[in-house]
Amino acid sequence: MPVDEKAYFEDQPGKKFDRCLANGIVKGGGGFVVGAVISLLFLRRRMWPILLGTGFGIGVAYKTCEKDLETFK
């Protein structure tokens, strides 16, 4: 990769969308893991903590993505 690589305006939405997608996977996965641990340790293997944790993670990622993509309106 060249050191003096220029970032064109047309490439910025794609890069931000890629970052949003990666952020959603990471935060959704983190919420899934936290929900699974809480479910296994405290709530006798119920499904709702896993879904709730995943939903919170994806919701936070969505809000962050929405804020990042606001600059292109």
CA 71 from chain centre, in angstroms, equals 19
> Mean pLDDT of all residues in the chain?
86
| Global confidence as pTM | 0.76
pLDDT in tens, 25-37: 999 999 999 999 9
pLDDT in tens, 11-57: 777 888 899 999 999 999 999 999 999 999 988 888 999 999 999 99
Torsion 56-60-66-69 (CA) sign = negative
